[in-house]
Homo-oligomer: A and B are copies of this chain.
Amino acid sequence: MKKIASSLIAAVLVMGSSAVLADEGMWQPNQLPTIAKQLTKAGLKLNPNDLTDLTGFPMGAIVSLGGCTASFVSDKGLVATNHHCVYGSVQYNSTAENNLLKNGFLAKSFKEELPATPGQRLYVTEEINEVTKLVKAGLTNAMSGSDRYKAIDINSKTLVAECENDDRYRCSVVNFHGGLEYYLFKQLTIRDVRLVHAPASSIGKYGGDIDNWMWPRHTGDYGFYRAYVGKDGQPADFHEDNVPYQPKHHLKVNKSSVDDGDYIMVLGYPGRTNRYRTAYEVENQFTWVYPQAKAYREEVIDLIHTNSEVGSEARIKYESTLAGLANYAKNYGSMIHSYNKGSFFSRKQALETNLAQWLNSDSKRKAKYGTALTGLNKLLKMDDAQQARDLILGYLRYSKMLTTANQLHRLAVEKQLPNIERESGYQERDIARFEQRMKAVNRRYDAKIDQEIVVAMLTHYVALPKAERVSSIDNFFALSHSTAANFNEKKLREQLTKMYKNTKLNVQEQRLAWMNKDVSDFENSNDPFIQLAVASFKQRKAIEDKSNELSGNIQAYRPKYMEALIAYFNDNNLPVYADANSTLRITYGNVKGYSPQDGLTATPYTTLEGIVAKDTGVAPFDAPKKQLELINNKRYGQYAKKSLGSVPVNFLGTLDITGGNSGSPTLNDKAEFVGLVFDGVYESIIGDWDYDTKLNRSIHVDIRYMLWVMEHVDGATNLIEEMDIVE
């Protein structure tokens, strides 16, 4: 049992804690003692200190699925998470004859459990250690940005490699507060994960993309995995002799759920937030990056629609790409709207004005931090000078052929280096996943659509000023003299049509073969996409190096700025918690509605009747007939909530979450499982940058709905019996 090392932040918080805003904050476990009073006041019945023990209760029951969170809910390794977190595994096991996505899946015994999608892992965080000094070893003020970037990179990789000497573990070095601190995370990695249960998509994805990020919500977004290990209790690859993992701790399930106003908390792995960015970064992101990226996304969505009929093979291949594009187009749209309507930018400006005054009021502070913000912003502006080009090159990556060629060639280049010096993603530890990616290309590839993406993005590219262009790309496509005004799209299309005709990268065996070739093979290849990759590599690498040089320089300024900001916050009794970075966090608050608009109140619960009201019989509003009948006949079983007169389906909380929290258990004041968090409301999307107490609401599946569906619709009584259900 290890606790993570104390840190500057934790110390700071002891003083600043009285001003911590309710509900805001994604707290590191080690910070909890510093906000013990607030936790107890909010309603927590456990000793806050207990939450700092990663391998104790309840933290030991919380696991990561890589991108999603999950939790152990039985002593036989049963794992609860979101439906959208097990979706890939359901899809992987579906066939035309046995469509598990449509029908749902239930293993009535261990034997019937199915392997999860290849590569699915389950990570149990066992140790968190601060490694700031080790990561920053050898850094000097005088060194170049590139050298600083490289030093941090190599130091981190070395720590990871040492940690992963024990091959049961996956390790990572993560920076906090923009590089002010670094922590090494050590996670036990369970490699045999099996699908136990998922409701039909018409329950688990009810409302689909239309209801995504929306309230009122009626989604049964839950599913179950089980962790398996070798007979020796140690992580092992899938084998039929493997046995269910016995976690040291699992969560009890409280079927009484929670009420309006009750204390709730979520333990999980939130992905990324940007709460401490500078006003310059904020303005650039919301007035340039998001609007432009939203436009590109919508353009790519349109061209996929135009070039594939609904229900066609091509469309089916791109459904998941489309969902991702639309998801973030909607996300950016909400953020732009919130930014334009709200006071985020002016508050950010005010903060910087106040910070400057505070710094200037003390000569020591001024000397130490006086240039941090201006220095940082100067570097950020340099980084953004080519952002128009970089965004286009970024969206060009939606072309599978371009990306595949670039990655295969890069692998050959990186392999020339010692493993520790290779770029992340090309080290030995990454090869298995790289291969999986290469195998999966054709599942999401259509030549016509791929070509249209290249045409669309190169059309934007030729409109760039000459100085921002990449001459090797210009030469390859004969675009050196092309501008927006004289762009010969027809000629480009002719060249691309030939390229798509002649490339072999659309063949899996070819791609896998290329994984083992060396740089000279690439240089001698007559595959047109490989030729493009080779021809443009030097310049693309130069762009990357320049970017790393800038990153290295930023790494000299951002920590200083964060140190100043934390000192200022501390002095002003303002809360400080690190931005989300896919590491284990705790957020707490209450069940609570909100006002999404003047004249409207979102009440904190939805009920079964809302499913019937939304249902059209057409996806995504096509609940199973059996479910609709049960609701119409008010067959609530033991799960009705008196105050609602029905079974609660989803509820709203004030918790501070983001992507990565998906699947996190929602716990009551005794850390009992009362639901799963799976989304936030539309008005809180900007929360990744700016938490608003009035509008920030998390959306949770109520345990009562889970149990009601499991018992009455799906007959998953074996799982209900396996869990420890209390009330």
Contact = CB atoms under 8 A, between A and B. Distances in A.
Interface of A: 215-218, 341, 595, 597-603, 605-607, 609-610, 612-613, 650
A600 B650 CA distance: 13
**Main DSSP-derived SS at the A contact region:** mixed
Nearest to A599: B216
A595 B610 CA distance: 11
Contacts of A601: 600-603
Contact of A217 (B215, B216, B599, B612): B599
A599 B602 contact: yes
Contact of A607 (B598, B603, B613): B598
12 contacts: A216-B599, A218-B598, A341-B612, A341-B613, A598-B610, A598-B613, A599-B607, A599-B610, A600-B600, A600-B603, A601-B602, A601-B603
A185 to B, nearest CB: 38
Contact of A215 (B599, B612, B650): B599
Contacts of A216: 597-600
A603 B613 CA distance: 21
A447 to B, nearest CB: 33
- Count of identical protomers in the assembly: 2
Given A341-B613, A613-B341, A602 B600 contact: yes
Nearest to A337: B616
A218 B600 CA distance: 13
Contacts of A600: 215-216, 600-603
A598 B609 contact: yes
Chain B CB within 10 A, most for which of A599, A600, A610: A599
Contacts of A598: 216, 218, 606-607, 609-610, 613
Contacts of A612: 341
A470 to B, nearest CB: 38
A701 to B, nearest CB: 14
A341 B628 CA distance: 12
Contacts of A609: 598
A217 B603 CA distance: 19
A253 B674 CA distance: 54
Contacts of A217: 599
Contacts of A603: 595, 599-601
Nearest to A598: B610
Contacts of A215: 599-600
A98 B585 CA distance: 62
A605 to B, nearest CB: 7
A602 B341 CA distance: 22
A358 to B, nearest CB: 29
Nearest to A651: B599
Nearest to A216: B599
A216 B596 CA distance: 11
Contacts of A610: 597-599
Nearest to A610: B598
Given A216-B600, A598-B610, A600-B601, 15 more contacts: A215-B599, A215-B600, A217-B599, A218-B598, A341-B612, A341-B613, A598-B606, A598-B613, A599-B602, A599-B603, A599-B605, A599-B607, A600-B602, A601-B601, A601-B602
Nearest to A602: B600
A651 to B, nearest CB: 9
Contacts of A605: 599
A606 B610 CA distance: 25
A291 to B, nearest CB: 14
Contacts of A650: 599
Contacts of A602: 599-601
A336 to B, nearest CB: 12
A127 to B, nearest CB: 42
Contacts of A218: 598
A613 B341 CA distance: 6
Chain B CB within 10 A, most for which of A217, A601, A612: A601
A493 to B, nearest CB: 29
Contacts of A597: 216, 610, 613
A600 to B, nearest CB: 6
A598 B612 CA distance: 10
A595 B603 CA distance: 10
Contacts of A341: 612-613
A547 to B, nearest CB: 36
A132 B602 CA distance: 52
